[in-house]
Amino acid sequence: MFTEDQTLIRDTARAFARERLAPGAAARDRSGDIEPALLREMGELGLLGMVVNPAYDGAGADYVSYALALMEIAAGDGAISTVMSVHNAPFNAILERFGSDEQKETVLRPAAQGAFIGAFALTEAQAGSDASALRSTARKVQGGYVLDGAKEYITSGRIGRYCIAFARMEGAKGKAGITAFLVPTDTAGYTVARVEDKMGQRASDTCALRFEGLELPESARIGAEGDGYRIALASLETGRIGIAAQSVGMAQAALEMALDYAKERKTFGARIFDHQAVGFRLADLATQLEAARQLVLNAARMKDAGLPCLTEAAMAKLFASEAAERIVSGALQCFGGMGYMRDTGIERIARDVRVCQIYEGTSDIQKLIIARALGA
């Protein structure tokens, strides 16, 4: 079902995830940090510039390969898969599609090599799903802009070297005037106000940011003034395929753990797998997982074919993220009381996977997109 390149990419990501990520996932969850060496290795493997054109040192892979790789990385550590997902799309995706030649050369190229991690700062306290309600402002000054405002729930806001930030041009209303900027995070006025204390994916830093008199040259603007809303929405297909793939990967890891345990654990003289209640539960979970996987791959194949796939990406994210929570919960149940303990790793996955129904558009937003397509 996959090409030789797709299979190689999947198998490479799987080996890395199992050998390098999974053994340390629990420790990273406790410490709230990712070892820089792991991110460097991911860069060397091409995982941080997967669909970027080789002209900018990207891997030039297709979206099916990207989805397959994300599934494997998420199976190893959901938190690291989030860093990988955001870095690839929207960060790299926006720069490749809308960045200037200078931005592509000086930022996209090293980003695709994995020299650093990028962040994406759109969400605000009152502007989550309603991205047009931004309050952050950009004021035009001689030679550039000054940004002021606050962002919430920004992945890699602490470890990222660059951040794509969105603000409304001073005096503009609604979607009009929203503009995108490429912000070096060491710029004076860029402040990590808080690193959030999260339920799951604790190794992936999620931050509240403050922009206070943040001065940027005109060359930091991405696209034209007022193009920001369109730019922000342009990467939604890829982003949602990515989150759906993450969901599948985490669910796969939990199901594999449950299967292994069910085939070893014995009660009443038989493997618990052979008790119909357990066997049927696992059969149902495996079926939901396969359905989720195929929805993700369908959206990725449509993306590769150059076809519009916003609806299919929304369907994949909606189904995969909600199915993943059911699958992980069912896998945990197979362990009985052990599943509730940290030793198995299932409880960490249960915490990690929950957010997949929230970021990159909540399940309600996905249903809204799908319903609009049905009514068109």
Contact between 177 and 139 (Cβ < 8 Å): no
CA gyration radius, the chain? 21
In terms of residues, how long is the chain? 376
Q: Which residues are catalytic?
A: 360
Neighbour count for residue 227 (Cβ, 10 Å) = 16
CA–CA dist 174, 206 (Å, integer): 27
Closest CA to 260 of 270, 251, 273, 244: 273
Strand 162-169 and strand 137-141: the pairing is parallel
DSSP-based three-state secondary structure for 314: helix
Amino acid at site 83? V
CA–CA dist 85, 44 (Å, integer): 16
> What is the b/e burial string over 358-375, where b = at least 16 CB atoms within 10 angstroms of the residue's CB?
ebbbbbebbeebbeeeee
Q: What six digits make up the tokens of 370?
A: 């799908």
Q: What one-character-per-residue DSSP string does 166-223 give?
A: EEEETT--TTTTEEEEEEETTSTTEEEEEE---SS-TTS-EEEEEEEEEEEEGGGEES
Amino acid at site 291? A
CA–CA dist 247, 71 (Å, integer): 8
